[in-house]
Structure 1
Amino acid sequence: MEVPLLGGTANRGRVHRVGDTVRRPLRATSTATHALLRHLEEVGFEGAPRVLGVDDAGREVLSYVPGRALTAPAPAWGLTDDALRSVGQLLRRFHDATAAFDPAPYRWSHPAPAPFDGRGIAHNDPNLDNVVFRAGRAVALIDFDLAAPGSPVWDVAAAARLWAPLRDPVDTTDVRRGRELERARILLDAYGLDDAGRAAFVQALRDSHAWMIGIVREGATHGVPGFAAYWTPEAAARQERAMAWLDRNADALDEALRAP
């Protein structure tokens, strides 16, 4: 029996659980993603699915990661500061595990732009529904479709934007509202971002936001169903408010997130 898995945008309605496996569409960059996942398995990183092959329908077969991702509406336990700390710690373990991986032989979908295209691998989409929790702690990342070369601060900025969240508070309707800077600091401290990363964080944050908007807008323009459904005039307005909020609060962010 195939059970649809909720969450996601680009592959919405096309990801299914079959027993202890997950079946997902193959992509032009699947070879790269599978090489990355196999590397993570080889180095003993437990926080990612394993590549199991391709099924008779031509879909990639991955191991199912038990636990719960934060699909909307996010449960209260997933919005606690302790849950946020565990996200930062998980992201750090992921970056440490990928430090020795060579991405050069592979084709990637959306590598980070300069100056964040240096050594490292970014998950690139550490959204709430792409992090698996068990017992209130983040234990695994899923949905590596956008994984690509990128510096650690690029990924940390994306995570902070989504989890703090760093956007106009008018668009946050849960307990995180009004705690944007405080929660961003919690995430960066839990990750252990160094001084150089903190100095580059605000630029990475703005660039990451614009980069992701471009991917979604392009997908909607080309008729990708999930992106087309998401990219409504209201969604576009929310993203404009988020960018304006980042511009207004750039100095406050820089000050609040400096290392002690």
Structure 2
Amino acid sequence: MKAAAEIPLHGGTANRGRVHRVGDTVRRPLRPTSAATHALLRHLQDVGFEGAPRVLGVDGEGREVLSYVPGEAVTAPAPAWGLTDAALVSVGRLLRRFHEAAAGFDPTPYTWSHAVPAPFDGAGVAHNDPNLDNVVFRDGVAVALIDFDLAAPGAPLWDVAAAARLWAPLRAPVDVADARRFRALRRLRILVDAYGLDERGRADLLTAVLDNHEWMCEIVRTGAAAGVPGFAEYWTPDAVERNARARRWLHDNADAVAAALA
């Protein structure tokens, strides 16, 4: 029998060029934290959460084998359907379902990736990278999260902050070249309403967004310094300046963010 072709899957940064679809499976490099993410994925399967890949084992080349989640991710250049408010609503609802499904999982026996900083390292498990290309859509609706490499113990608010940063997006308008430009605050409100973020979460969200921005920048910066190809390709002087503009925009618009959340 002829072996199934290996089809490169685009998107992602840390594993760029190293993730392949083989039939109805996905083959990815194993990591020191794979046991932890596999335990989380098995828990999600056990509680009936359908919005994540299933762990199928390890192949003959030492790669993890996951189920392929059919659908489309929002990869560059972003399709118009992925930037609609309706798509954003479905992202918020998917995140909420994930956090509810993960709530019964005990992460303490495992070694995880980059730790979430206090005070957002509390109860729960965060995906930690709900980027546009890590959410699978079908018919314009977000149905699954993929790429759990950065998953770790963390408060659900940490994921909401990351999603707001990436999907609204909370950054300088000059760095938004699509239909979301000048709509960040409106989309922020849409996301948190769809998620059902409570009053305390809304009060703490801006702090979480600022901390999440710094946390992710440091992961990419250190990855680039270590020679990780995807990180090194991204972390250019232009990227450094874009992230500095995002930081300034968040500080300069703190009152407007608070008003949008009220």
Is TM > 0.5 for Structure 1 vs Structure 2? yes
Give the match's secondary structure for 1:126: coil
Q: For each residue in 1:194-233, what CA deviation from the matched residue of structure 2 results, as whole angstroms up to 9, or x when unmatched?
A: 0111111000000000000000000000000000001000
The corresponding residue for 2:224 is 220
* Residue matched to 1:43: 47
Match for 2:70 among 66, 73, 85? 66
Please, what TM-score do these two structures have when normalized by structure 2?
Answer: 0.98
Match of 1:191 in 2: 195
Q: Name structure 1 gaps, 5 residues minimum.
A: none
- Alignment match, 1:138: 142
Determine if the alignment matches structure 1 residue 162 to structure 2 residue 166.
yes
2:110 aligned partner? 106
Correspondence list, 1:1-260, <5 A = 1-258=5-262
**Secondary structure of 1:245's aligned partner:** helix
Q: CA deviation at 1:111?
A: 2.1
Output the TM-score relative to the length of structure 1: 0.99
User: The residue matched to 2:27 in structure 1 has which SS?
Assistant: strand
TM-superposition CA deviations, 1:12-32 (whole Å, max 9, x none): 000000000000000000000
How far the C-alpha of 1:62 sits from its partner, in A, is 0.1
User: 2:80 is aligned with what amino acid?
Assistant: A
Residue aligned with 2:215, SS? helix
> 2:57 aligns to what SS in structure 1?
strand
- Aligned mates of 2:151, 2:191 — CA distance in 1: 20
Q: Number of aligned residue pairs: give it.
A: 258
Runs of 4+ more than 3 Å apart: none
Ranges in structure 2 where 5+ consecutive residues have no aligned partner? none
Percent of matched pairs sharing the same residue: 75
Q: Shift of residue 255 of structure 1?
A: 1.7
Structural RMSD (CA)? 0.4
**TM-fit CA distance, 1:251:** 1.5
